[in-house]
């Protein structure tokens, strides 16, 4: 079970869900939320990472719009609110808040040697931008929405980045997927895996597009990636 901590920035303070490993000797991991806030799914992912030995932290990136958003994908009203938040969200400020979270993790008494980041949906885009704009040591993005609009930033990638792409993603058109693949497939820091037949959020436990097999495969690939990149 984790705890809520407060992260200070020049613009104000925001909360984050922090889960500590039993033996805090490994890297830290920033978990970047979907459009549903720091909900049970994100907290569970954070707890699982702590159980694997990471100092794991999931920042509340919607705090500028509405603090403590905690909704699901199980009702039309929640989807409506999630998209309202998504459309109002300032991506650039969100990356700044992730950078502050990275600084918080590096300064934690556990003193992790390295910090990784893993993001989903909106967080998948933010994971890409975290890799290009911050001092993160490695990042993973699951079915990131809007990455194709920021591909010029790939020139700034200095640390490893892994992307998981759902080939039937309703929020990432085929044209966008093709552009991402064409632009990044030969980048020395980028690893990409595509999942045929999978739709957006195929790794979201309990979601309508959840696929246990490919979720497990993506998880295995993610863990192997971080084991190597954060060694």
- Catalytic position from the list 97, 169, 211, 214: 169
Residue 56 and residue 49: Cα distance in Å, rounded?
A: 6
Diameter over CA atoms, the chain: 45
- Catalytic position from the list 60, 97, 164, 200: 200
Look at the block and give the residue holding tokens 């739709």: 199
- List Cβ neighbours of 48 (8 Å cut-off, separation of 6 or more): none
**211 in catalytic set:** no
**214 in catalytic set:** no
Determine the distance from the C-alpha atom of residue 70 to the mean position of all C-alpha atoms in its chain, rounded to a whole number: 16
Asked whether the beta carbons of 167 and 202 are under 8 A apart, the reply is: no
Active site residues: 169, 200
């Amino acid at each position: 079970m984790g705890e809520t901590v407060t992260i200070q920035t020049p613009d104000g303070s925001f909360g984050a869900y922090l889960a500590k490993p039993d033996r805090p000797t490994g890297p830290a991991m920033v978990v970047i939320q979907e459009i549903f806030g720091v909900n049970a799914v994100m907290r569970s992912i954070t707890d699982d990472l702590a159980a694997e030995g990471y100092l794991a932290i999931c920042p509340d990136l919607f705090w500028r719009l509405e603090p403590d958003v905690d909704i699901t994908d199980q009702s039309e009203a929640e989807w409506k609110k999630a998209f309202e938040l998504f459309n109002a969200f300032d991506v650039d400020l969100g990356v700044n808040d992730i950078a502050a979270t990275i600084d918080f993790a590096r300064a934690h008494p556990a003193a992790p040697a390295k910090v990784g980041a893993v993001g989903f949906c909106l967080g998948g885009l933010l994971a890409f931008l975290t890799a290009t704009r911050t001092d993160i040591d490695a990042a993973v993005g699951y079915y990131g929405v809007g990455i194709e609009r920021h591909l010029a930033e790939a020139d700034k990638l200095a640390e490893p980045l892994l992307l998981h792409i759902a080939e039937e993603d309703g929020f990432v058109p085929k044209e966008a997927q093709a552009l991402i693949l064409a632009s990044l497939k030969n980048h020395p820091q980028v690893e990409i895996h595509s999942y045929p037949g999978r739709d957006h959020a195929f790794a979201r436990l309990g979601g309508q597009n959840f696929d246990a097999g490919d979720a497990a495969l993506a998880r295995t690939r993610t863990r192997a990636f971080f084991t190597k990149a954060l060694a």
